[in-house]
Each structure stands twice: as structure tokens, then as C-alpha cells.
Copies of this chain bind each other. A is one copy, B any other.
Amino acid sequence: MDGSVRLTELLDRDLKSKHGLSVSEYEILVRLSEAPERRLRMAELAEHASQSRSRLSHTCSRLESKGLVFRGGCPNDKRGVYAHLTDEGFAALDRAARDHVETVRDFFVDVIDPSDLAAIGRAFTAVNKRIAEAG
């Protein structure tokens, strides 16, 4: 637990100092970039990025004011809102990701035995399943 806390703090500082993005902002950009047409409904995005809707709403406002994301309505469901990744957002993500994956490799992947990495994957998949079961 301690190791995982320190790791995420390190990744967060790294991303923030080099690219001015927090991990949760980065996460949002990643999910949007992977989505078809680079857009997602707010609720889906919240789910994928495991953030509360309120938090996502605030964070998107910040990203929007940085010009990395913009929000537009949804034709089908008039309540709905799509978050779109802008070209500038995609470029920013691209730059950040290069550094980020390298840091992850450096402090996580490369120091762990491959079979232990696989074990971590199995373990947290099980944890996720258990949490989903419980609601």
C-alpha cells in the first residue's frame, strides 16, 4: 500500500511538473483519445476514469478553460453532454504520454519481475470484480 501511494504521488508530480496535468486530467484525456470520434458522454467518462460526476464536471471545466476539451450537447438525449477532445488536447496528451510511459516503465515495470506483474494484474482484476459485486 505504501509503495503504491508513493508511486502514484511520484507519477502525479512528474506529470504536473513537466506538463501541467494532474493524473486525473491525464486519465480523462486518455479515455477521450481512445473513444470513437474522441468524445464521450460525461457519465461514461466518469465511469471509465473512476471519478465522481461532480469531480469530472469541475475537472472538465478546467480542461475546457485550458482549451484541451470542449463540451457539446447530445442530439438524442437533451440532458446529455458530450466531452470532446480538441486537437490541442490530443497534442498535449501525446507529449505527456511519451514522458509518462517512460516514467512508469522506469519506476514500475522495470523493477518488477514479469511474473509478479502478471500476479498484480490478476489480483486487482479480482479486487475490481469484488467491488463491482458489492456495488
Contact = CB atoms under 8 A, between A and B. Distances in A.
Copies of this chain, count: 2
Interface string A35-50: 0000000000000001
Q: Is the interface of A mostly helix, strand, loop or mixed?
A: helix
A115 interface: yes
A108 B120 contact: no
A91 interface: no
A9 interface: yes
A131 B6 CA distance: 8
Interface in A46-95: 50
A125 B3 contact: yes
Contact of A119 (B120, B127, B130): B120
